[in-house]
């Protein structure tokens, strides 16, 4: 996780500086030391014996701008996969987490299923799930599944794997809500389901937004795995361009696009968490 | 199965947590419109007794009757029973992710199915009655402890219960905030609300209660009108307990 762990204190990087007494001065020291550090790093790379060759094959300006439009267009498919998968993951994972929390001996089989599910899909490498579903499921030749494209199977594989992770995140959130909240809700006559729906889950979800985002950053990257089934997304497109130009620069292009997607996601979450906190605590009228 | 004007009856109620028996056969009668105070040391079983009445804890044996209906039967719809009983907790237990108004209207809307406008209007009237009208859009964390506890009382009242259970509702409050909560309870008593109150506020119990009951290690040692229990207790344990309270300057 990035700086989301303790959102109340604002930026952990600069927040510590403000408190250290120097004020303006410590910010300048931080800036200077960062520049020196970055300078050393760049110098180390640029002066290495292989740098001219690396520069030519990874940082070719012309090839970069030539391949960027195509890869960016292909990247839209990554975003589509990501958004589609995310919606299903959020719902499906919550269902698993709730099922796993069902009390009493009657629901043991359901709890057991939920546990088996999360154990299995967190244990198997994502790429294997993509392969097994993408090549295995169509091979069954079921007529009612004829419409299912490789893109569908790839996305489904991501939903299955990430739901297992996200279900655990939800579960941690649900268990972190104190039992007195449940007692308060039940004592008002709310059923178990309504207590979950209106009292427990809303509080749980607010608490797990930062770790949820962490999983979703992982998901944006793993959309590239769908390429192994054939759909031309950013990674596949950059492979095509690399093969055509005998130059690795298109990979850098794809890498840049992935980074550009995750940064706004991280900022969005910071903002959501800060807004919620402000709403509940601002004023501090205690 | 007549209730004979009794709101709540406990018959030989026993409750254990594992090996530890917290209630060792409690009999209790609370009349309609009666204010019944439970006193006793911490760990004597007061809170457990209230939680059993609200069916938050299942009893091990014995019966609890609400207006003559046995509510400890297995086939009883607990959600229906709880609708008629309001409980207020020591730690308020407000829902921190909802505004005061949402806290109060949640159960009327989602349990009774009242339309939003009607639930809001009723909630606002209640909040006004208890001096909280200007807090309706605040979140619980922004209120003082006394305000939070008053909101918790209003939240319970919004379901129009005919029995209120108060579980040491002033124990978590700073001393200067206790009065505002006690005055709310006093107002409820004057309005004829049947209440079962677990409390450490002895002066308050003496003033407000129709009946006081001394609970000691899961048993009722003594019960009667407050003048009797506080003025001339029969049991040595009761005397000892009250003696310590007087020493601490709390009576």
pLDDT tens digits, residue range B25-36?
999 999 999 999
Angle between helices B116-129 and B100-110 (to 10 degrees): 130
Q: Is B244 within 8 Å of chain A by CB?
A: no
Q: Is B83 within 8 Å of chain A by CB?
A: yes
Q: Which residue of A has its CA nearest to B89?
A: A184
In a structure prediction context, what are the per-residue pLDDT tens digits for chain A, which is 286 residues long? 344 444 444 455 555 555 555 578 888 999 999 999 999 999 999 899 999 998 888 998 899 999 999 999 999 999 999 999 999 999 999 999 999 988 888 889 999 999 999 999 999 999 999 999 999 888 888 888 888 889 999 999 999 999 999 999 999 999 999 999 999 999 999 999 999 999 999 999 988 888 888 889 889 999 999 999 988 889 999 999 999 999 999 999 999 999 998 888 888 878 877 887 777 665 443 3
Give the pLDDT of residue A17.
Answer: 55
Compute the half-sphere exposure of residue B9: CA atoms within 13 Å on the CB side of its CA: 14
| C-alpha distance from residue B105 to each of A205, B100, B142 (Å) | 22, 9, 19
What's the whole-number mean pLDDT along residues B211-235? 91
Each residue of B167-201: b (16+ CB within 10 Å) or e?
bbbbeebeeebbebbbebbeebbeeebbbbbbbbb
| C-alpha distance from residue A251 to each of A62, A68, A235, A238, A254 (Å) | 14, 10, 7, 6, 5
Q: How far is B166 from B47, CA to CA, in rounded Å?
A: 9
Q: Which residue of B has its CA nearest to A280?
A: B139
Q: How far is A258 from A4, CA to CA, in rounded Å?
A: 20
Strand pairing partners for B61? B14
For the structural domain made of A61-274, what CATH number should be given?
Answer: 1.10.3720.10
Does residue B15 contact residue B219 with C-beta atoms inside 8 Å?
no
Each residue of A80-101: b (16+ CB within 10 Å) or e?
ebbebbbebbbebbbebbbbbb
Q: Which residues of A touch B (CB under 8 A)?
A: 180-181, 183-191, 194, 198-199, 202-203, 206, 279-286
Each residue of A205-214: b (16+ CB within 10 Å) or e?
bbbbbbbbbb
Q: Is B156 within 8 Å of chain A by CB?
A: yes
How close does chain A come to B107, measured CA to CA in Å?
6
The domains located in chain B, with CATH, are 6-247 (3.40.50.300)
Stated pTM of the model:
0.81
DSSP B6: E
* B110 contacts A198? CB cut-off 8 A: yes
Give the pLDDT of residue A4.
Answer: 42
Sign of the dihedral defined by the CA atoms of residues B141, B146, B152, B158, in that order: negative
Chain A hits for B89, CB-CB cut-off 8 Å, are: 180, 183-184
pLDDT for residue B201 is more than 70: yes
Closest CA to A262 of A117, A47, A80, A79: A79
pLDDT tens digits, residue range B181-193?
898 999 999 999 9
pLDDT for residue B125 is more than 50: yes
- Domain(s) labelled CATH 1.10.3720.10 in chain A stretch across 61-274
How close does chain A come to B92, measured CA to CA in Å?
9
3-state secondary structure of A246: coil
Average model confidence (pLDDT) across chain B: 91
Q: Which residue of A has its CA nearest to B100?
A: A280
3-state secondary structure A106-148: HHHHHHHHHHHHHHHHHHCCHHHHHHHHHHHHHHCCCHHHCCC
DSSP A197: I
- ipTM of the complex in this document: 0.90
How close does chain B come to A191, measured CA to CA in Å?
6
Q: Which residue of A has its CA nearest to B113?
A: A190
Does residue A203 contact residue B97 with C-beta atoms inside 8 Å?
yes
3-state secondary structure of B62: strand
Q: Which residue of B has its CA nearest to A190?
A: B111
Q: C-alpha B251: how far from its chain's center?
A: 21
The size of the A-B interface in CB pairs under 8 A is 75
Nearest CB among A181, A281, A283 relative to B95 is that of A181
How close does chain A come to B14, measured CA to CA in Å?
21
How close does chain A come to B81, measured CA to CA in Å?
8
Chain A hits for B86, CB-CB cut-off 8 Å, are: 187
Does residue B44 contact residue B237 with C-beta atoms inside 8 Å?
no
Phi, psi of B6 (to 5 degrees): -100, 130
pLDDT tens digits, residue range B167-181?
999 888 888 888 888
* A286 contacts B155? CB cut-off 8 A: no
Strands B194-198 and B163-167, sheet pairing: parallel
Q: Which residue of A has its CA nearest to B78?
A: A189
How close does chain B come to A83, measured CA to CA in Å?
27
Q: How far is B106 from B108, CA to CA, in rounded Å?
A: 6
């Amino acid at each position: 996780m990035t700086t989301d762990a303790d959102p109340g204190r604002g930026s952990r990087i600069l927040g510590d500086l403000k408190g250290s007494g120097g004020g303006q001065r410590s910010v300048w020291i931080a800036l200077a030391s960062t520049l020196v550090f970055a300078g050393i790093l760049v110098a180390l790379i640029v002066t290495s014996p292989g740098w001219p060759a690396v520069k030519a094959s990874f940082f070719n300006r012309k090839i970069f701008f030539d391949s960027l439009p195509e890869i960016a267009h292909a990247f839209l498919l990554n975003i589509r996969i990501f958004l589609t998968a995310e919606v299903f993951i959020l719902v499906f994972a919550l269902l698993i987490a709730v099922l796993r929390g069902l009390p009493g001996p009657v629901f043991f089989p359901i709890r057991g299923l939920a546990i088996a599910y999360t154990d299995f899909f967190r244990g198997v490498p994502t790429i294997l799930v993509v392969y097994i579903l993408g090549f295995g499921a169509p091979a069954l030749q079921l007529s009612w599944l004829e419409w299912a494209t490789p893109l569908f199977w790839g996305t489904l594989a991501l939903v299955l794997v990430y739901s297992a992770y996200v279900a655990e995140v939800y579960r941690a959130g649900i268990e972190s809500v104190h039992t007195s909240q449940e007692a308060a809700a039940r004592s008002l006559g709310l059923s178990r389901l309504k207590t979950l729906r209106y009292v427990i889950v809303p509080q749980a979800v607010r608490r797990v937004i930062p770790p949820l985002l962490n999983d979703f950053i992982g998901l944006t990257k793993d959309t590239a795995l769908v390429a192994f089934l054939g759909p031309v997304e950013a990674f596949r497109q950059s492979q095509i361009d690399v093969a055509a130009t005998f130059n690795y620069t298109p990979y850098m292009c794809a890498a840049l696009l992935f980074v550009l997607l995750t940064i706004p996601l991280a900022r969005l979450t910071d903002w959501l968490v800060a807004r919620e906190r402000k709403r509940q605590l601002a004023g501090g009228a205690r | 199965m007549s209730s004979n004007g009794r709101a709540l009856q406990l018959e030989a109620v026993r409750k254990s947590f594992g090996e530890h028996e917290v209630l060792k056969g409690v009999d209790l009668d609370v009349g309609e419109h009666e204010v019944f105070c439970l006193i006793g040391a911490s760990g004597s079983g007061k809170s457990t007794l209230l939680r059993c009445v609200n069916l938050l804890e299942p009893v091990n044996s014995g019966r609890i009757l609400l207006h003559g209906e046995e509510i400890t039967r297995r086939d009883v719809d607990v959600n229906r029973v709880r609708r008629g009983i309001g409980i207020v907790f020591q730690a308020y237990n407000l829902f921190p992710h909802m505004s005061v108004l949402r806290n109060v209207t949640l159960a009327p809307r989602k349990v009774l199915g009242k339309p939003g406008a009607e639930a809001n209007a009723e909630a606002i009237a209640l909040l006004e009655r208890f001096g909280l009208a200007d807090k309706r859009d605040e979140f619980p964390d922004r209120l003082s402890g006394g305000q939070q506890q008053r909101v918790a009382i209003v939240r319970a009242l919004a379901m129009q219960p005919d029995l209120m259970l108060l579980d040491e509702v002033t124990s978590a409050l700073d001393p200067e905030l206790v009065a505002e909560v006690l005055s709310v309870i006093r107002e409820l008593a004057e309005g004829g609300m049947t209440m079962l109150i677990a409390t450490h506020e002895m002066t308050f119990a003496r003033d407000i209660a129709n009946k006081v009951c001394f609970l000691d290690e899961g048993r009722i040692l003594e019960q009667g009108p407050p003048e009797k229990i506080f003025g001339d207790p029969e049991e040595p344990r009761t005397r000892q307990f009250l003696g310590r309270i007087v020493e601490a300057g709390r009576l």
